[in-house]
Amino acid sequence: MKRATLILATLLAGCSFVPRYQRPAAPVPIAWPSGDAYRANSAGLARVDYRDIFRDPRLQRVIDRALANSRDLRAAFANIEAARAQLRIQRAQNLPTVNSNNTVSFVDPGTGRSNNNGAPVVGGQRTNFALNLGVTQFEIDLFGRVAALTQAAKAQYFASEAGARATRLVLVGDVANAWLQYGADQSLLKLSRETARIAEESVRLTRARVEGGVAPRTDLTQAEQTLELARANVANQTTLVAQDVNALTLLVGAGVDAADLPGSIEETLPQLAELPAGLDSSVLLRRPDVVQAEYQLIAANAQIGAARAALFPRLTLTGFAGLASNNLVNLFTTNAFNYTATPGISYPLFAGGAARANVRVARAQFDTAVANYEQAIQTAFREVADALARRGTIAEQLRAQEQLTRAAEETFRLAGARYRGGVDTYLGNLDAQRQLYQAQQGLVNTRLIAATNLVALYRTLGGDTLIDVTPQGPVPAGGK
């Protein structure tokens, strides 16, 4: 009977009810969008480190500190450790648990009373020694239930790793954006201070003209209004710069050295590199958040197999082997050895349909995972397409804004000369100054858009150099 049971277990070993995994078709076009807003072949797999894109040593130091201190990353790494421990726990189910039970008993043949308190043997007492190793309810995985659960736990572990990489990618992008925003606000603060200085000079000259009877009193009040508006802008920009430092401090998780902050947005642009060119949207399959969603899909697929296997009987084995003797000298002889093995088969005759309902639950959870995976790809495609649309037009927008600023500077110079020559009113000079300030602000903001667009491309393409994509799912680079 025992031999037949072992033969049956051998024949059924490796049986699995896990459905064959097949990656769902990506619900997005294979090609990137095209048209006036896009460059040809302008998206690539970001097989690059952030240092290849963000080449300013100051920004690299800030990002390094953020990666070292981030609480979000700590939480992500803790999730990885929890998933790794859960995988080890599940893998342990594939091996029997062996317990040791060792006893020494003292029995009085006359009364049947025993003394197990370790007191010396006296009178007619008999001493029994036993060393036992036992296995209790070890499940022989005939239908692959335990193996399917192990497969699911492994996929969840890889999903946690991918989630940590996604968190890291977002953190790098957020730090870079905050650092660039600080540079832009510093440029706007300098612009506001320069505008306030020009306004102060204008008030001084206009007051002299009013006192000399050359200009009306309204010119002075208009000049004073412009000055106070410029001073208000200086105060506001000072606040924004301070808030930018606070935002960076939160992201970095520690103070940021002032020497690592940019002096202006203009000095940051040359330190940002373009991403390599690519061809189609298949690169999204290696984005960390998409990889995470696919591993969760694989885990849900394995859970279906575990639920299916639970419909069939479970074969368990309970046994022990040990040594027993009433003489310590003879305890380790052949005659002292004994063993038992008790296989058992359990099958619920009636459970209210719970097992089949568990299969339906697993299938529904798989369908949910498919929807989440497809949504992750669609979101990734939209984010990349938006970044590409901005990248395709930003150069022309920046060129036009620079030309507009140069024209506004010339208009302001001419309007000032006309006013001082008595050819035009102060209102024309005031309007020219306002247009110049707006053009200069627009140029700073456009440069910020150009810089953060490169950050967006780095983050949204997000190709993972540690992952290769196969028809059976993501695998570690170079793995099988």
Give the SS3 label for residue 105.
strand
Model pLDDT, residue 1: 44
CB 456 within 8 A of CB 169: no
Averaged pLDDT, 217-227 = 89
Kindly tell me if the per-residue pLDDT of 330 is higher than 60.
no
CB 453 within 8 A of CB 397: no
What gap in Å lies between CA 464 and CA 52, rounded to an integer? 14
Model pLDDT, residue 33: 73
Question: Cα–Cα distances in Å, from 316 out to 4, 5, 7, 139, 140?
Answer: 14, 11, 14, 4, 6
Of the two residues 87 and 392, the one the predictor is more confident about is: 392
Model pLDDT, residue 112: 47
Question: Cα–Cα distances in Å, from 261 out to 57, 137, 198, 336, 351?
Answer: 10, 64, 27, 79, 66
What gap in Å lies between CA 467 and CA 477, rounded to an integer? 5
Model pLDDT, residue 172: 92
Share of the chain above pLDDT 90, in %: 34
pLDDT classification of 166: cutoffs 50, 70, 90 = confident
What gap in Å lies between CA 164 and CA 158, rounded to an integer? 10
Kindly tell me if the per-residue pLDDT of 53 is higher than 70.
yes
Of the two residues 431 and 236, the one the predictor is more confident about is: 236
List 103's β-bridge partners, or say none: 130
Kindly tell me if the per-residue pLDDT of 37 is higher than 80.
no
Instruction: Tell which phi-psi region holds residue 153, choosing left (phi > 0), alpha (psi between -120 and 50) or beta.
Output: alpha
Of the two residues 145 and 363, the one the predictor is more confident about is: 363
Model pLDDT, residue 11: 45
User: Which residue, chain included where needed, has tokens 């002075």?
Assistant: 220
* pTM of the shown model: 0.79
Range of lowest pLDDT (18-32, 106-120, 371-385): 106-120
Question: Cα–Cα distances in Å, from 406 out to 192, 195, 329, 410?
Answer: 18, 16, 105, 6
Backbone φ and ψ for 451, nearest 5 degrees, come out as -70, -50
Backbone φ and ψ for 71, nearest 5 degrees, come out as -70, -35
Model pLDDT, residue 162: 86
Angle at 384 between CA 379 and CA 388, to 5 degrees: 150
Instruction: Tell which phi-psi region holds residue 321, choosing left (phi > 0), alpha (psi between -120 and 50) or beta.
Output: beta
Model pLDDT, residue 257: 94
- Using the CB atoms, write b or e for 396-424: b if 16+ within 10 Å: eebeebeebbeebeebbeebbeebeeeeb
Give the SS3 label for residue 326.
coil
Mean pLDDT of the chain: 80
